[in-house]
Amino acid sequence: MALEDAKSQVDTAFTRKGLRGLAFENAFGGATSFLRRTYTKDLTGVDLAITGVPFDQAVTHRTGARFGPRAIREASALQPYDPPYGWPTNPLEELNIIDYGDLAFDYAKVADFPDALTAHIRNILAAGAGSIALGGDHYITLPILKAYAEKFGPLSVIHFDAHSDLWQDDDFSRIDHGTMMYKAVKLGLVDPARSVQIGIRTHCDDYLGMNVIDARDVHEHGTKAAVAKARAIVGANPTYLTFDIDALDPAFAPGTGTPVWGGLASWQAAAMLRDLAGVHLVGGDVVEVSPPYDTTGATAIAAAHVAHELICLYHWSRRKE
């Protein structure tokens, strides 16, 4: 750690010169952008934009995920001092990464939210950058996928979750976090044969051709086997990774709206994310962090680590191109 920098740095979210480099200001002070990246709406020269989506009006149980982006940013203040552990590269030094701030929307006009979010992500992609979204409930992935599919065509999706989110619902005006993947498949945004869901441990009547590696499979056969299967499924296709924090067992991530026992341990998620290096990641999100139920902050900390790993995966796929 650069002690002299630590003594003098503060509010690097606003005072940083340039878009690259580690940050050493006190973890307990300053403006908490994600990983202390520069807060800006200027996408010129940006490789990757981190953006918050504080929306939780699609939940079926406990609310609170609207506060997720703020909590994840605060938790990320523990991480920007050093290169990411276990990676041979450092995206904070080698990519232009910004915190693009949150999506602005009228909370009282819920029906307008999906198009607002799609336009928000479309703007990032049009500038030549990728996006990592901090949720928010899991519905947000559907409008994001719409923007990505416009650019890349039907995507492969790696979907970490306790739930398949494939509840059947052909009313596409409904906004529900339990049906977002069903609608993504039905709309042709996702290629189910080249997509995989990991950590599932709740009932689903019809997986619509999605490949599934449930939580018990990971526990019994290990992370390496799960990653090998996932990599074979997505191949070289443009891939979006969505990580519902309830993929983790409630022992590791209690602060979420619909917790389910028997989930992944944090070390299993960390190992799988690391070993997915090389997939053609075009974007991702981490969702369903509900700070009112996260009394120790462990859930937000886990989500901040997931988002950091997504940044590393995004960087790694570009180094391989």
Which residue numbers belong to the known binding site for Mn(2+)? 138, 161, 163, 165, 244, 246
Which amino acid is located at 257 in the chain? G
Between the two ends of the chain, the Cα-to-Cα distance in Å is 32
* Annotation: binding site: 138, 161, 163, 165, 244, 246
Token code pair at residue 48 = 């990757």
Helix, strand, or coil here: 312? helix
% helix, strand, coil for the chain, step of 5: 40, 15, 45
Q: Is the peptide bond before 136 cis (omega within 30 degrees of 0)?
A: yes
CA gap 146, 151 in Å, rounded: 9
CA gap 71, 85 in Å, rounded: 22
Q: Is 28 exposed, middle or buried (0-12, 13-18, 19+ CB in 10 A)?
A: exposed
Instruction: Give the distance, in angstroms, between the CA of residue 297 and the centroid of all CA atoms in the same chain.
Output: 18
Question: What are the C-alpha distances in Å from 134 to residues 57, 141, 145, 293?
Answer: 15, 10, 14, 17
Q: What is the 3-state secondary structure (H, E, C) of 70-128?
A: HHHHHHHCCCCCCCCCCCCCCHHHHCCEEEEEECCCCCCCHHHHHHHHHHHHHHHHHCC
CA gap 41, 101 in Å, rounded: 8
